[in-house]
Structure 1
Amino acid sequence: MSPTLEPIHRLAQGVRKHGPALLAGMPDPHDELMSLVWGPRFDREHALGLVARQPAAAAQTLPALLAAADHFDTLHSGAQGRLRKLIVRHRALRVVDSARGPAHGADA
């Protein structure tokens, strides 16, 4: 993996692992992710609000979320922009998969 993409890949792994618990029940998880990384700094206040909604999972998700926040804040603006584009791309892929039906949309 290229050194340019490695930091983004690390963040994506955390989202795959902890995202389902953190974003459970949210109408649009992609909007929630985007709101966390929209600015030049990770929105920790919004993240804490998401964690507060899922107290049973907080012990596992909070440390990972704060580590992701610190990691995001160290990324240069180009890498932050690539991460945002990946979120938008993933949303578009999920929309296409859901339009195809359940047989095609599993675990995209």
Structure 2
Amino acid sequence: MPAHHTSLQRLTQGLREVGPALFNGVPQPHEELLALVWGPRFDRVHALGLAAHQPEQAARTLPALLSAADCFDTLAAQSQRRLRSLILRHHRLYA
């Protein structure tokens, strides 16, 4: 299995684990998630703002979120685009 595929799997798994706590009460979670990964680097400032809205979950979500950020930043551009495509597809299926 290519390394970029493994990294993408690890990233998506981490986001699945912290997503429910991080996006709890957020009206448009898919849009928020896309905002985090829209550019070539993970938007850590935006992520910290989301985490600040869930202070009781911060101890659990912050380490996983920062790990996801580091993982995203190491992905090749093609893998970053694939992740965005997966988020958009998931949004269409569950919207």
Q: TM-score category by the smaller chain? A: over 0.9
Counterparts of 2:57 and 2:25, CA distance in 1? 13
The aligned residue for residue 89 of structure 1 is 89
Higher mean displacement: 5-14 or 32-41: 5-14
Larger RCO, structures 1/2 (Cα 8 Å, 6+ apart): 2
Q: Which has the higher helix share?
A: 2
Letter in 2 for 1:10: R
For 1:1-108, list aligned pairs within 5 A: 2-3=1-2, 4-95=4-95
1:5: how far off? 2.2
Please give the alpha-carbon distance, in whole angstroms, between the structure 2 residues aligned to 1:59 and 1:10: 20
Equivalent residue letter for 2:29: P
Greater than 6 Å deviation, 4+ residue runs: none
Q: Which runs of 5+ in 1 are unaligned?
A: 96-108
* CA–CA distance in structure 2, aligned partners of residues 32 and 50 of structure 1: 9
Q: Deviations over 1:15-66 (max 9, x none)?
A: 1111000000011100000000000000000000000000000001001101
Return the index of the structure with the highest Cα Rg.
Answer: 1
Identity, in percent, stands at 61
CA-CA distance at 1:74 after TM superposition: 0.6
Within 2, Cα distance between the matches of 1:62 and 1:45? 12
Please tell me the root mean square deviation across aligned C-alpha atoms, in Å: 0.9
Q: How many angstroms apart in 2 are the aligned matches of 1:15 and 1:69?
A: 10
Unaligned runs of 5+ in 2: none
Aligned positions, number: 94
